[in-house]
Structure 1
Amino acid sequence: MFKSKSVPINMNDYDQIIVPILTDVKRGKSTSMIKAIEFKGVEPIGICYENINNKIIVTDIIKDSIADNNKEICIGMELIEMNGQTVKKYNKTMDYIKTKYKLHKYIKLTFIKYIKKDLSEVFEIEKY
């Protein structure tokens, strides 16, 4: 007997949820996911950033750091908020992160992760 691998969908939500995803997939656009991650401790956070097209992008994660132990963060994510404040300029943002984390041993960083999907990923279809 074969088990279905379909995703349960409330058909009332089809127009609001599924259609936009499929539209982005067909157009090759990326979808995104926002992640807010709290960092606590005395060790360095261990995230390297670069200013790419006026966006603050995670370019490296230092091995055995606090960030390395957090599986939600990955290279390519864009930093959009820190402690609820929208990021603006790269240098000011880096100074803010260093200062606040050093003083309070805590910071909440919010990232956006851009995801490109194809139809098989959206509907968990096995590729042959």
Structure 2
Amino acid sequence: MDTIYILLILIVATLAYIGFNWFQQRKILKTLTEEQFREGYRKAQLIDVREPNEYEAGHILGARNIPLSQLKMRMKELRPDKPVYLYCQSGSRSARAAQFLYKKGYKDLSHLQGGFKKWTGRIKAK
């Protein structure tokens, strides 16, 4: 019986943590449709947070590759006074990148709904 209570407490705590993160991301990050993303990404810092091999396979024209795994070390490459448009393969890494940048003082953060796999615009591949 005690085991059931412990499991229930762990499940509730996990769901609360997931819910908190979801609401936090919605507060700090604008999720843009492809059309909205196209309208503003040329005036912003366009960052692909995927790994280099993913970036080389294909990326949005004009994007810089700063992988999520390197973001902490390469943060100085981003200006906090300009909008930052993020994208990854599906949207989860760009959301984590936005949380990290928000904690470091970046406020105008947006990401592509559905990520690169939903992008239908022009791309560049090596």
TM-score, normalisation: structure 1: 0.24
| Structure (1 or 2) with the greater helix fraction | 2
Highest Rg: 1 or 2? 1
| Structure (1 or 2) with the greater strand fraction | 1
